[in-house]
Structure 1
C-alpha cells in the first residue's frame, strides 16, 4: 500500500481578494485533498478575511501556513511575500517536512524557485501568465520557460490550446504538459427554477474589476437597456479593483460606479465563494463580456464555468475557446466588435427570446459538468499515480535501493521508461550515455558496470558487446535489440552467457534474432514499444479527417513515394485531402545522403510533388521535434508504407490520438497491428480511407484504434513489464 503523498501549494496570489487566481488556490487544495494528499497551503499575504481560507481548514489533511502571523519570514510584517522570500520559505518548510510535490502558480515565482534549485523534479507549475502568441515569445521568455520545464515534473495548462502552444515553442515541455482546467464546485442544492426572469431582469458579474474585463462599461448596461424599454439591474460581487497605470482614472471611476449612486447597480462587495455563487444563482444572466484584446487568450474563464454550474446563461465574446466550449451556434455571443452597444444587443436578445436564453443555459450547464471539483480530483489522482508510483513489492523488501544502470548511444526510445524508473521508490538510476555508437568513456562505463545490480543496454550494438564482456558477477544484464543491429556483426559478438534477457519489440524480430544468432530461446522475449496514450489522447482539430500523416520519411525504405500514391488517389476523388510529413529531411542524415541511390530516390519524390497536378499544394513538411501529440491533433489517418519495420511507432502513436492507421504488409506487421488496418497496396489503403466517408464512421474507427493501443502498448502497461524485468531475478 502506498503512503500518503505530501503536497506544498503556493501561489503568487492574495487570498484576501476573490479573483480567478485566488479561486484557483482554493480549488487546487480542495482537489488535492479529495485526491488523498496531505496539503500545506502557504499564504502570500497576511490574513484579512477568511472567505477563501476558512472552508479549507475543515478539509482532511489540509494545513494553512500563515507566514506573517507565524513570523516565519523576518521583516515581512503586513506585506505580501516576494518571490525571493517565498522560495526561501518553501525550501525551509520542505527541509522540516519533505514534500513529494510542490504546486506553484506565477511565472516570476516559479522562475525563482527553479533558479534556487531545491525542488528540481518535484515542481508542478501552473502556467497562465506566460506568452500566448508568437509575437510575445521572445528568446528571453523561451529560455525562461525552458528552465522551468527542465526543473518541473509537470507543467499544468488550463487549455489544450495553451498546452500545444507551449510544446511548439518549448520542446523541453513535451511530455510534461498536462491539462489542469479550472474546477468549480457543484452547488449544494439545485439552482432555483423559475418560469420567467425577475423584473427587473438581473444581470450578474463576479470577480475582479479591471479595464480589459469591461467591468466599468458593464455598469452602464442598466441605463442603456432602460432606453430600450428593458428594466434591468446589475449585481456585482468582488472586492479587487485593479489600479492600472495604463488607465490612471480607472480605480476612482470603478469605485464610484460600484459604491456611488449608479442607476441599477447593486454591489454586494467581497463574499465567500459559496455565497457569491448563491447570489449569482438568483440572477437571470451572467456577464463574461470582455475587451476584444483578450479574444486570443489561451485560458478558460472560471466565471463562465461557475455560472454554467448554476444553470445560468452567459453573455460572452465569440472566440475560438468559447466556440470549442459552447459551440459555434451558441445564441448569446456578443455580436459586432464587442462594444457596449453590442453587449446590450446580446442582453436584449436574452431578455426578449426565452428560447435563446434556455438554450444558452443548457449549453453552459453541460459545459460546466466537465469541470467539477470531483473531476479535478480524479485528474490529480491519475497524474499522481503516474508520477509517484508505489515501490514494487520486490524492491520494497530490499535493504538498499536497487541500482539500475542504463547505457547506450541513443536513448530516445527509452525516455519515458527512464522517467518511470526514476520515479519508482527504491530504485537508484544512473545513465552511461555513449557519445556515439562505438564511442564512450571506458572508465565511466566500467564504474557503472561495477556499481549496478542490473544494466539495461539500449540497442544490441557496441555497448551491448562491451557490457557483456565486463559484467559484474551477481549483476543482471538486459539488452534491447532493434532492427538495424541484425544486419551487423554485433549480436554475434555479444557474450550471450553473460546476458540475462534480450528484449525484442515484435515476435517477427524475435524469430529473426534467434535464427541469426542461435541464442537460447529462453533468453529472448518480446516487450512491445511503449506509447504514451495519455499524452497523445487529445481532441482532433477541425478538418483532421481529411489529413494524412507520416512521421519519419528517411531512409528511402520508409517509402514516401507510396504515401504520395495514396494521396493522389484520394485527391482524385476530393481535393480536400492533404498530407502532413513530420520528419527531418534526408540530407540531415549524413549516412543516408552519402548514398547515391538515396539521393536519387528523394530527387524523384520531390520532382513528383512539383509536377503532379494532384499533389500541387497538398503536401506539408512540418519540423521534426517532440511535439508529436500536438501535431497529431491535425491528422486523421497515419500511414505506414515502409518496406520493413521492427515495430513502427508512428501508426501506434496515431492510433493513441484516435487517428485511423493504414499500413502496408511489411514483415511482422500483422503480429503487432490488427489486420483490419493492413492493406495490400496503396490503392487498397486509399479505398479503405475513402470508405470512412463521414465524420461518424471515421470517429468510430479512430476510437477502436485508440482502444487497441491502450490495451496493448500503453506506457503504464509496458512500464510494469519492464519493472518486472528489472526487479525479477
Structure 2
C-alpha cells in the first residue's frame, strides 16, 4: 500500500446487543485500524448502549457514523435501517468521501448493495448466512450469490470449509475468496493461572441465548451436577434472547431461567473486556450446542475467547472442531450431545485435573492463532495485494500509462490483469478477439492508436495484426506459448515492430529463436504465474494416496500413462486412487473431429472399465475454476504429457503441498527440479510409493517452497510490471 486507504464497515447487525455478529463489527474496525486504514463504522440502529462502541473511541483513523442520530435519512427517526435504507446511506457517505473498500456483513444487505450498483469492485463481503451444505445450495441461492461474487473485490470466508463450499458451487467466487476467521482481542488484564478450580466449580457462557445454542438446558447444569456430588455454578453474560418462531415460549422461559434458577448468576450485557474478565474468573467454558449445528462451516468464537483466557471448553465433537483441536481433545460432549452427555463431560473436567489442563492448553494454543493482531496482519497482507504500490517509473509520469491487452484467450492472464488494473498510474483496456482469427478491426485500431504499450497474448493472428498496425512511439509485447510454433504466424509477424517476445520457458525461447531467426535480444523468459496464496490450503485426510491430473485433452496429455502409474501403485496398495479434473475430450470439437483422438480415448475408457486394478479407482471431476479446493484432496499431481510449454498443473499442485511427478517431456528439467522428474511411469510409481507419510509431507513442503520462490503471482507480476513500465 502506497497510500492510506479509506474503508467503510457496515453489518446488518444491532451493536446494542452482544453476539458474534456485533463483535465481528467491532473487531473488524479494530483490525482495519491496526492495518493502517481510515475506517468509518456505520451503525444500523440508534445507540442505546456504548458497550461495543466505546472501545473504538480514540483508535487511529476510526469514525463512528450514527445515521439515525445524524438524520442521514429524512424521516428515519429511531428505527433500525433496512437493507434498502442502509444502501442509500452508504451511497451518500461514499459520494461525500469515496471509499476504497466497503466491508459488508449480511446476505440480504450485500445483495441489495450489489443490486444498487454503486460499489461494484469495491465490496469485501463477509458471508456466513449462506447455505452451508450441497443440499441447501439451491439454484435460487446460487443465482443470488453469483452477482454478489461478481461485484465483490474479495469474499471473506470464516473457515476453509466455507470457502471451498462457496467456490465449488459459485464459480464466480473462485480466486476472490480469502480467509477471515474471528479475531479475539488480547486480554487487557492479567489472566488468572487457573491452577486450582473454584468451589463451587464455575461454568461460564457468553453470547446470545437461543434454542440451538442449548442456553436453556445449560441453566439446569448446576442442579444436575449437584446430583453427582459436584458443586457448580453457571455464570452467563449477554442480553440478546432470540425470538424463535419454532419455540414460541423460549424467550420468556429463558428470561425466567436466567433470573431465578439456583446456581445461575446472570451478569447481563457487558462490554467485551468486562465479559472477558468475568469469564477469566471461571473454570470451564461452555460451547455445547444442539447436534443440528454440527455440520456448520463456521468457527466458534467462544472456543477462541475462552482459549485466550486459558479456559478449557466443553463442546460437540464435529469435523470442524476436530480439525481445530484434534480428534483426541478430551472435553468433547459424548454420545448424542444431550444434556446428560454434557453433564458427563463437565463432571470429568471437574474430577480430572490433567484432562482439564490438557484441554486448556489445546484451547490456548488454538486461540493464539486468532488474535486481533493476527487479524490486522491478514488485513494488511490482503490490502497490499488488492492495492499495490505504483512503480516509481509510473508515479513520475504526467498521465497514466495506457496498456492495451489483446487476444482470443486470456485465461493465462486473468490475475495479472487484476494486478495491472489495481496499479495506480496504469489505464488498462482489453481487445477481446471472439476467435483466434476474428476481431473487430475498428476496435483494434482504436486500441492500437490509444495504447502506450500493447500486450498480445498468444503469438497468433492478433500478434500478426498488431505488428502491422503499431503506432509510432508505442511498444508491442507478444507472449508465445507452444502451439503457435507449429503454425505460420511467427514468421508472418513484423518482428521489427515487436519490442519483446515473452516465452514461458527457456526451452521454448530457444525453440522460438531457432524456428524464426528473431534477434535474441527481443526474446525473454517470464514463467507462468501461480496464485500460491490461494492454493496453499490444508490437505484432507487420505490425500497422500490420491493422484491428480488436471487437463487430459488432447491425447498428448497421456492419461494412459497416468493409468500406468496408478496400476503400478495399486498392485501393492489398493488405497491409491486417481482424480481427473478436466473437460471431456468430446467437448473440444477440434479434438473430437480427429479419428486418432477418438480412438485414444475409446481405448483409455475401456481400460478403466475392464482393468481389475483400476476398478473404482478413477474419478472424473467436473472441470471448473475450483482447483484450489479440489487440490485439498490430492496429494500428488502427475504430468505425463508428451510435450508442454510449461504445464501449470504440477506447479499448482506444488503450491498446495502436493508432490509433483513428471515424465521427462522436452524442457521439463529447465522449469522443475530434476528430483520430481522420472524416466517412466514405473519409476514414478516407485518414487511416490517409497516416500512414506513423513517423506510425503517433507516433499510437499519442499515443493511448496520452490514454487513460491519461482512462480508466485507476486514475483511474476513484478517482472511483468517492470517490463511494461520500462523503455
Question: Partner residue of 2:451?
Answer: 452
Question: Partner residue of 1:68?
Answer: 68
Q: Is 1:271 matched up with 2:270?
A: yes
Question: Partner residue of 1:215?
Answer: 215
How far apart, CA to CA, are the structure 1 residues paired with 2:348 and 2:58? 43
Measure how far apart 1:139 and its partner are: 1.2
How far apart, CA to CA, are the structure 1 residues paired with 2:343 and 2:444? 72
How far apart, CA to CA, are the structure 2 residues paired with 1:692 and 1:281? 46
Residue 419 of structure 1: SS of its match in structure 2? helix
How far apart, CA to CA, are the structure 2 residues paired with 1:546 and 1:726? 44
Question: Partner residue of 1:698?
Answer: 696
Residue 429 of structure 1: SS of its match in structure 2? strand
User: Gaps spanning 5+ residues in structure 2: where?
Assistant: none
**1:420-499 residue pairs with structure 2 within 5 A?**
420-499=419-498
How far apart, CA to CA, are the structure 2 residues paired with 1:117 and 1:501? 40
How far apart, CA to CA, are the structure 2 residues paired with 1:124 and 1:61? 19
Contact 2:194–2:283, Cα closer than 8 Å, also in 1: no
**1:463-542 residue pairs with structure 2 within 5 A?**
463-542=462-541
Measure how far apart 1:444 and its partner are: 1.1
Question: Partner residue of 2:724?
Answer: 726
Question: Partner residue of 1:413?
Answer: 412
Question: Partner residue of 1:291?
Answer: 290
Residue 456 of structure 2: SS of its match in structure 1? strand
**1:315-354 residue pairs with structure 2 within 5 A?**
315-354=314-353
Q: Is 1:121 matched up with 2:121?
A: yes
How far apart, CA to CA, are the structure 2 residues paired with 1:621 and 1:179? 28
Question: Partner residue of 1:561?
Answer: 560
Q: Is 1:9 matched up with 2:9?
A: yes
Q: Is 1:32 matched up with 2:32?
A: yes
Residue 370 of structure 2: SS of its match in structure 1? coil
Measure how far apart 1:92 and its partner are: 1.0
Contact 2:194–2:310, Cα closer than 8 Å, also in 1: no
How far apart, CA to CA, are the structure 2 residues paired with 1:521 and 1:407? 24
Residue 310 of structure 2: SS of its match in structure 1? coil
Question: Partner residue of 2:105?
Answer: 105
Give the alignment partner of residue 711 of structure 2, picking from 707, 713, 721: 713
Question: Partner residue of 2:572?
Answer: 573
Q: Is 1:191 matched up with 2:191?
A: yes
Measure how far apart 1:189 and its partner are: 3.5
How far apart, CA to CA, are the structure 2 residues paired with 1:351 and 1:281? 17
Measure how far apart 1:400 and its partner are: 1.3
**1:245-256 residue pairs with structure 2 within 5 A?**
245-256=245-256
**1:575-654 residue pairs with structure 2 within 5 A?**
575-654=574-653
How far apart, CA to CA, are the structure 2 residues paired with 1:479 and 1:146? 34
Question: Partner residue of 1:84?
Answer: 84
Q: Is 1:57 matched up with 2:54?
A: no
How far apart, CA to CA, are the structure 1 residues paired with 2:266 and 2:347? 22
How far apart, CA to CA, are the structure 1 residues paired with 2:310 and 2:363? 7
Deviations 1:163-182 (A, max 9, x none): 00000000000000000000
How far apart, CA to CA, are the structure 2 residues paired with 1:91 and 1:393? 33
Question: Partner residue of 2:181?
Answer: 181
Measure how far apart 1:25 and its partner are: 0.5
How far apart, CA to CA, are the structure 2 residues paired with 1:58 and 1:303? 27
Q: Is 1:301 matched up with 2:269?
A: no
Deviations 1:182-211 (A, max 9, x none): 000121234211332111111000000011
Question: Partner residue of 2:237?
Answer: 237
Q: CA, structure 1 residues 94+84, in 2 after alignment: closer, same or farther (shift >3 Å)? A: same
Q: Is 1:168 matched up with 2:129?
A: no
Contact 2:83–2:109, Cα closer than 8 Å, also in 1: yes
Contact 2:193–2:310, Cα closer than 8 Å, also in 1: no
Contact 2:238–2:270, Cα closer than 8 Å, also in 1: yes
For structure 1, which segment, 354-363 or 705-714, has the greater mean C-alpha deviation from structure 2 after superposition? 354-363
Residue 599 of structure 2: SS of its match in structure 1? helix
Measure how far apart 1:471 and its partner are: 1.0
How far apart, CA to CA, are the structure 2 residues paired with 1:13 and 1:45? 8
How far apart, CA to CA, are the structure 2 residues paired with 1:595 and 1:48? 73
How far apart, CA to CA, are the structure 2 residues paired with 1:85 and 1:713? 46
For structure 1, which segment, 639-648 or 138-147, has the greater mean C-alpha deviation from structure 2 after superposition? 138-147
Question: Partner residue of 1:44?
Answer: 44
Q: Is 1:146 matched up with 2:146?
A: yes
Question: Partner residue of 1:258?
Answer: 258
Residue 67 of structure 1: SS of its match in structure 2? coil
Residue 156 of structure 1: SS of its match in structure 2? strand
How far apart, CA to CA, are the structure 2 residues paired with 1:166 and 1:47? 35
Measure how far apart 1:472 and its partner are: 1.1
For structure 1, which segment, 645-654 or 133-142, has the greater mean C-alpha deviation from structure 2 after superposition? 133-142
How far apart, CA to CA, are the structure 2 residues paired with 1:193 and 1:728? 60
Residue 416 of structure 1: SS of its match in structure 2? helix
How far apart, CA to CA, are the structure 2 residues paired with 1:282 and 1:308? 13
How far apart, CA to CA, are the structure 1 residues paired with 2:219 and 2:204? 11
Question: Partner residue of 1:281?
Answer: 280
How far apart, CA to CA, are the structure 2 residues paired with 1:57 and 1:46? 17
Measure how far apart 1:402 and its partner are: 1.1
Deviations 1:80-104 (A, max 9, x none): 1111111111111111111111100
Residue 456 of structure 1: SS of its match in structure 2? strand
How far apart, CA to CA, are the structure 1 residues paired with 2:695 and 2:281? 44
How far apart, CA to CA, are the structure 1 residues paired with 2:18 and 2:82? 20
How far apart, CA to CA, are the structure 1 residues paired with 2:76 and 2:300? 33
Deviations 1:246-290 (A, max 9, x none): 21101100111112x201100000000011011001101100011
Residue 485 of structure 1: SS of its match in structure 2? helix
State the TM-score, normalized to the length of structure 2. 0.99
Contact 2:288–2:316, Cα closer than 8 Å, also in 1: yes
Measure how far apart 1:78 and its partner are: 1.1
How far apart, CA to CA, are the structure 1 residues paired with 2:683 and 2:709? 27
How far apart, CA to CA, are the structure 2 residues paired with 1:559 and 1:195? 63
Residue 692 of structure 2: SS of its match in structure 1? coil
How far apart, CA to CA, are the structure 2 residues paired with 1:581 and 1:346? 44
Question: Partner residue of 2:135?
Answer: 135
Measure how far apart 1:473 and its partner are: 1.1
Question: Partner residue of 1:200?
Answer: 200
Q: Is 1:659 matched up with 2:685?
A: no
